[in-house]
Amino acid sequence: MTNRGVVYTGPGSVEVRDISFPDLVLREGPGVPKSNVGRKCEHGVILKVLVTNICGSDQHMVRGRTTAPEGLVLGHEITGEVIEVGRDVEFLEKGDLVSVPFNVACGRCITCRRQDTHICLNVNPERPGGAYGYVDMGGWVGGQSEYVMVPYADFNLLKFPDKDQAMEKILDLTMLSDIFPTGYHGAVSAGVGVGSTVYVAGAGPVGLAAAHACQLLGASVVIVGDLKEERLAQARSFGCETINLMDHDDAGEQIEQILGIPEVDCAIDAVGFEAYQHGTDHEESPAVVLNTMMDVVQAGGSLGIPGLYVTEDPGAVDDAAKIGSLSIRLGLGWAKAHHFVTGQSPTMKYHRDLMKAILSGKATIAEVVNATVISLDEAPQGYKDFDQGASKKYVIDPHGALT
């Protein structure tokens, strides 16, 4: 059988190319550590990809801001149908419709056993944690493709209970692989609860998902900050307050106009290391979001930081930032006794409950992030539009199943 996928071909460039059809072995390829080559995955399945999404984290690689190798097949947000089952798989069958957590996890190590599947110790020989189609994450082949292999399937995959119901909600359910649990993790990490006032930095898909998660958790006011008015308009469409950091660079002053005081109970960073100085959309300032959050979060408050920070950034503004060393006002955070929670979302900790919220109609994440369906061949243009700040979450439909 044939297979096609979205391939990173160098800074600023992706192409749809013919790629290998997956089997239950991790083969040699771009980004696969030598010690992972030839890894047998009889515990895995082959999926026909139903939908797969473009993520802001993919954009960091495509912009050339990581050490991702050319030829890497992209895509870690995957929903699909099981078409082949490995010998050691017990609880999944051909025809099952499943969501794939972007974290590759073994289910056996000490971190997986305590639900920290984002830092699994067995799937990546280079560091804790694995993911599909991502730099330094074990070399697992990405899922912006027609077919993909998923290891440790019994543990990793979330099976939808009713296929017809799932297809009716597929644009919501596709967000379970990453951005909805990631946004929710940011809100939980920040300590959002009933009555909370929250500042969410960034109105991209993860920021919007985090804002919706805050609403689900009972926040009284959710304030979203961004430099792009189109994205802020999307945040207002589902009941958020907004502050435009291009027109007015003092976040605390704008928050005071909304709440009467220049501070919030807690905050979420949905921007990460490619942040721009407030008042400009071209002058990079990788620590500005973290420092702003420390300014506006009350003493004793928490900062949830699902936004991506890297250990190697070839395009950074200075030598320190190239190795992930930022000018953070840690003294301010210490003085205010802030609680910081960083790292990827442990998707499996949240995805089943969020699935139930979607299926019951309590969560409307597709509307929140403006889910927009495109074909596999339209993916390169989707990357370009997303990079220009389009307020859309691009959902790739490789087989035309949604059209």
CATH number at residue 19: 3.90.180.10
In a domain, 214, yes or no: yes
Assess contact for 47 and 156: CB atoms under 8 A.
no
Judged against a pLDDT cut of 90, whether residue 389 lies above it is answered with no
Instruction: Say what the pLDDT of residue 217 is.
Output: 98
In a domain, 141, yes or no: yes
Q: Where a domain ends, among 342, 366, 387?
A: 342
pLDDT single digits (tens) 261-284? 999 999 999 999 999 999 887 789
SS3 assignment, position 88: coil
Alpha-helical segments (H) within 133-263? 153-156, 163-168, 170-173, 179-189, 205-216, 229-236, 251-259
Same domain for 171 and 220: no
Q: Where a domain ends, among 318, 342, 366?
A: 342
Q: pLDDT category, 120, cuts 50, 70, 90? A: very high
Q: pLDDT category, 33, cuts 50, 70, 90? A: very high
Angle between helices 179-189 and 351-359 (to 10 degrees): 110
Q: How far is CA 401 from CA 58, 133, 141, in A?
A: 24, 23, 22
Same domain for 373 and 288: no
Copy the structure tokens of residue 44.
Answer: 């895995």
Assess contact for 133 and 141: CB atoms under 8 A.
yes
- Averaged pLDDT for residues 171-194: 98
Judged against a pLDDT cut of 90, whether residue 210 lies above it is answered with yes
Same domain for 173 and 185: no
Same domain for 377 and 317: no
In a domain, 403, yes or no: no
Judged against a pLDDT cut of 90, whether residue 381 lies above it is answered with yes
Same domain for 185 and 90: no
Judged against a pLDDT cut of 90, whether residue 317 lies above it is answered with no
Instruction: Say what the pLDDT of residue 168 is.
Output: 97
Residue tagged 């220049």 (tokens): 262
In a domain, 24, yes or no: yes
Q: pLDDT category, 194, cuts 50, 70, 90? A: very high
Same domain for 244 and 184: yes
Q: pLDDT category, 40, cuts 50, 70, 90? A: very high
Instruction: Say what the pLDDT of residue 247 is.
Output: 87
Instruction: Say what the pLDDT of residue 273 is.
Output: 92
- Averaged pLDDT for residues 56-82: 96
Same domain for 386 and 297: no
DSSP structural state of residue 145: B
Instruction: Round to whole Å and give the CA distance between 321 and 331.
Output: 19
Judged against a pLDDT cut of 90, whether residue 315 lies above it is answered with no
Instruction: Round to whole Å and give the CA distance between 301 and 267.
Output: 8
- Averaged pLDDT for residues 365-369: 98
Domain that holds residue 267: 179-342
Copy the structure tokens of residue 219.
Answer: 């926040």
Instruction: Round to whole Å and give the CA distance between 362 and 212.
Output: 11
Listed in sequence order, the residues at least 6 apart from 139 whose beta carbon sits closer than 8 Å to its beta carbon are 26, 29, 30, 31, 32, 33, 36, 37
SS3 assignment, position 241: strand
In a domain, 402, yes or no: no
Judged against a pLDDT cut of 80, whether residue 128 lies above it is answered with yes
Angle at alpha carbon of residue 158, lines to 155 and 160, rounded to 5°: 145
Same domain for 311 and 376: no
DSSP structural state of residue 132: B
Copy the structure tokens of residue 359.
Answer: 């299926």
Instruction: Round to whole Å and give the CA distance between 43 and 49.
Output: 19
In a domain, 239, yes or no: yes
Assess contact for 111 and 43: CB atoms under 8 A.
no
Assess contact for 224 and 240: CB atoms under 8 A.
yes
Judged against a pLDDT cut of 90, whether residue 231 lies above it is answered with yes
Indicate the number of domains in the chain.
2
Copy the structure tokens of residue 145.
Answer: 């493709």
Q: What is the pTM of this model?
A: 0.96
Same domain for 146 and 14: yes
Q: pLDDT category, 248, cuts 50, 70, 90? A: confident
Same domain for 201 and 257: yes
Q: Where a domain ends, among 342, 364, 386?
A: 342
pLDDT single digits (tens) 136-172? 999 999 999 999 999 999 999 999 999 999 999 999 9
Helix (H) or strand (E) holding 384: helix 379-387
Instruction: Say what the pLDDT of residue 207 is.
Output: 98
Tell me how crowded residue 2 is: count the other CB atoms within 10 A of its CB: 9
Tell me how crowded residue 287 is: count the other CB atoms within 10 A of its CB: 16
Instruction: Round to whole Å and give the CA distance between 388 and 403.
Output: 26
Averaged pLDDT score across all residues of the chain? 96
Q: How far is CA 68 from CA 74, 135, 141, 321, in A?
A: 10, 5, 13, 17
In a domain, 233, yes or no: yes
Domain with 235 in it: what CATH number? 3.40.50.720
Listed in sequence order, the residues at least 6 apart from 157 whose beta carbon sits closer than 8 Å to its beta carbon are 45, 92, 96, 98, 99, 100, 150
Same domain for 273 and 145: no
Same domain for 147 and 31: yes
Residue among 258, 309, 260, 269 nearest 293 (CA): 269
Copy the structure tokens of residue 293.
Answer: 């959050």
